[in-house]
Structure 1
């Protein structure tokens, strides 16, 4: 099985921006560096300000509730611990989400992008191990062939940013990533164990350029393949460098 890495992405603030990378160094038992470091709890969250434990996504503002959030782009200054966010309807914002004043500015910036019928953004949470959608520090592995197949099914090109993956691979048949569950992959200099399939939500229906809902991805998955799954979650077993263009194979 000859596989290769085509793209790398991270999402510094859960549900609030995506950033493309050329290379990254993974660590055992950790998320991709600077991925889902922060999350924005909404007014109905069942977590308290200052909590650092993992919590389910229902506690947070995200694209499934407010599709306009999907058009946010992010860029991390790793040395300064600051994140710059852009959106077609907002002026750029640069903040340190750990700073109380900057956190308040962040909440004010995202509030107009939040659907009015949804709970308002309330406070910024920082997870000890990354606020992924899985209850373990995960890396989302996605398949370029699955994206092409779903795009064909819907009759429109779908941007990969809709699916908020970390590592995109080519060389698999459509949806063959599901067969990797329970397997160990060597990707670049790292080793990952694939643990579970990712079931998708309404966030994927929003265009990541505009924030407008324009593709019924969930109906397309159900009609074409009888499920709402797309991609798999893996955990890093052995750390190492991973770059676009690296080979991947069963370990």
Structure 2
């Protein structure tokens, strides 16, 4: 913030680290004493903040002055925008998925039962979006969000029933449902290491991911849709588990 001459407050919610920021006067330090989950930790930061724009930044994402200036400027001139986000890239410059369509039964079935074949085919024919100007998307990956305070006041905090993952999809859905726009801005990139706070285990073992997706369909769909989604997820997990065992036997 010093480089950009923008006044703001830095709030660190320390879910579980070995480093203390308590002695730094320019930082608001919050220690929940335990790992409360991603949503709860972010909510603690939001509740203790006072700015017109709240920036949620993952511990493995790195803010730049350019992103800070562009994000704040965009929200100050677009009252209908609920969240603005820069493009996310890995440390080596490779692009990440920074936005996505909201989940449907179709893309859930494609991912869990058909290994994303439909999505890969669609991306092949349509190509990745390279719009030079900010554009509206259905959901934003929650590694770096600039959130309009008015939108927070209207919509509320993150749903703490989501311990880790899918809370960003749920919040995107709630934003969109209330008429706010979600803005992806590829004019600026920031590095997001990705999964730096997680153990690197196989996809089917990521229980938070799968339970979060079930919860999303429980909240947003009918009982029938939720039941189908749950069965698709459980079946997909079992397929991956069996394939993993099979591959291990071959080796």
Question: Which structure's residues are more often strand, by fraction?
Answer: 1
Q: Shared fold (TM-score greater than 0.5)?
A: no
TM-score, length-scaled by structure 2: 0.24
* TM-score for the superposition, normalised by structure 1: 0.24
Pick the structure with greater CA Rg: 2
